[in-house]
Structure formats: C-alpha cells, structure tokens
Amino acid sequence: MSVIQVPEADAGQWRCATCDEELALRPVELEYLDSLFNVALPACPKCGMVLIPENLALGKMNQVEHLLEDK
Amino acid sequence: MPDGRPLWERPGLRTVAGDTLRPGGFALTDRAAEAMDMMPGWRVLDVGCGLGATLGRLRARFGARAYGVEFSAEQIEKAKRTGMVRGKGDCLPFGDGTFSAVFCECVLSLFADPKTGLDEFNRVLEAGGFLALSDLCAPDDDGAGAGSCADRAVSFARTRTMVEEAGFEVELVEDHSRLLRDLAAKLVWVGESGCGCNARGGLGYFLMIARKKGWTHV
Ligand SMILES: [Zn+2]
C-alpha cells in the first residue's frame, strides 16, 4: 500500500513533550471502520507518539469519516 | 483554480490508485482472471486500458497474450507498452471471435452508448469467451446523463439486462462497493475531494463475469 502524503501533516513548532524530540514524518496506519489508510504523519522518532494536526483532524480526517459512515 | 481535467488524468488519482486508476487496483483483475480460469496463451483484450497496467498484470501473472484499446492518445503515449492501440470501445479494431476474454474495468459507464459497446465485446469474443466487467452502479437510473463516471452510472439491474441482451450469460456477480468507498476516501486524503466517485449518494461497485452464448458443454 502506498503512503498518502498530506500537506496538513506539518509538525509546525510541536515537539514530543515526553522526549523533547523534534517530530519527523513517518507512515502511520489509520484504520476506520473497514478501511485502512497509510498516511505520512509527524511522529516522535523516540517513543512513536503521533501528532495529528488540528486542521487535519477537523478537515480531511473528518471528511473521510463522514464518507465512510455514509454508506 | 479548479482542475478541469478528467479525474483519471489528474495526478491525485495516480498517487492513490497507482497505475490502475480504478477502485480496488488489481484485486478485481486477479479475481476475474481466476474466476474464468485464465490459461497461459489466452488472447485477452482490455477495453479502455488507460496506462496498460492490466495488460502487464495479465501477462506477468497469467501468461495471457494481452492487448489493449485506449481512446486517449495521452495515456497511450505515457504508457509506453506494447499491444496497445488507439480506438473506441464501441468500434474495436479486431476481427470476430479474436479473444478468449474481454476486460472492461471502470469504463463502460463512460461509453456514449454502452449497448453498442457490449455488442462489440461480444463480436470480438469467441463462443464461450468471457467478459469481465467491473463498474459503478447507481441505486436508480435517474442520473444517467452526461458528466463524470459517477453521474453516468446506471443501476446494476440495467447493466445486467444490457449484458444479457448483448448475447451473454451472466456467470458471477460480486458487490465490491467497499473498494469504491476506499478510493473515494483516499481521494479526500490527497485533496481531490471534488471527485465524482462520491458526488452521488448510494453509488456501488460491482464485478461481473459473463460468457458469450453459443457454446456447448462437452
Ligand atoms: Zn517521544
């Protein structure tokens, strides 16, 4: 499965609060209902914590959820 | 600025669907080839073959002698594959009874006249030859008009009737609507949310295997 790149996946000024590491883009599997998506998201290279930027959560992610629930 | 190109020529679709440009990628191609017991050496035609991904797949995996017809000169140029000719699906540049199987994946609903297309598929098939048809289907026949593939989709019942009237016997039907939903969702991810795949509620996706009549069991 190819990795989906989204422009919203920008770590901005965020760092991992626990490890104080800079976040880096990493392919993350997002599962919703029966569907699985491999999306590049900012994550902590040390502990693996994944950041979902707010505009992604409220935007595309929300749209995808609606789309999958719709039918 | 909105991208006026047809969806299948936009880069967003290439990213999510790979080179196949349709729901499910090769899953339904393989499924169909297996269902018809495709043997090495079969002459197979893919109508609306796009970049020819299905040709490559059927050659590599099933040993088929695969040919493709594509209307878009741009796609043929980009594909750089052998066995592709420019042509229209409702006027195929092949003689009667040439093929053991015809594939038409996510393309029939784009035909101006699907009935003529199905007649052509029937003509180029040998008796008992297989038609693998995958396409969008709509809950009703109201929207069947101009526009994107989604706007043009007709009901499954209507497609099935057209296939039977063109001289085929339907052997297998499967509902793969989830693959369509997944593709639509992936298009949202890459920002192609204006995609027609989801512009109309209740759309589904199916795979049908049918056989050209006029053969006898031995
Ligand atoms: Zn961390």
Amino acid at position B32, single letter: A
Q: Name which of B63, B70, B26 is nearest B43 in CA terms.
A: B63
Classify burial at B170, counting beta carbons within 10 Å of its beta carbon; exposed 0-12, middle 13-18, buried 19 or more: middle
User: Does the ipTM exceed 0.90?
Assistant: no
A58-62, B79-83, B192-196: least confident range? B192-196
Pair B174, B187: CB distance under 8 Å: no
Encoded tokens for B30: 């393989």
Encoded tokens for B136: 């969008």
CB contacts < 8 A (A, B)? 45
Average pLDDT over every residue of A56-61: 88
pLDDT of residue B1: 42
Q: Give the tens place of pLDDT for each residue, B155-166.
A: 999 999 999 999
A64 contacts on B by Cβ (under 8 Å): 185, 188-189
Q: How far is the centre of ligand 1, averaged over its atoms, from the C-alpha of A9 (Å)?
A: 17
B177 contacts on A by Cβ (under 8 Å): 71
d(CA B18, CA B12): 10
- Shortest distance between the Cα of A40 and any Cα of chain B, in A, equals 11
Determine how many CB atoms are found less than 10 A away from the CB of residue B2. 5
Q: How far is the centre of ligand 1, averaged over its atoms, from the C-alpha of A14 (Å)?
A: 11
The residue ranking higher by pLDDT, A62 or B119, is B119
A5 contacts on B by Cβ (under 8 Å): 15, 190
Task: Quote the pTM value.
Answer: 0.79
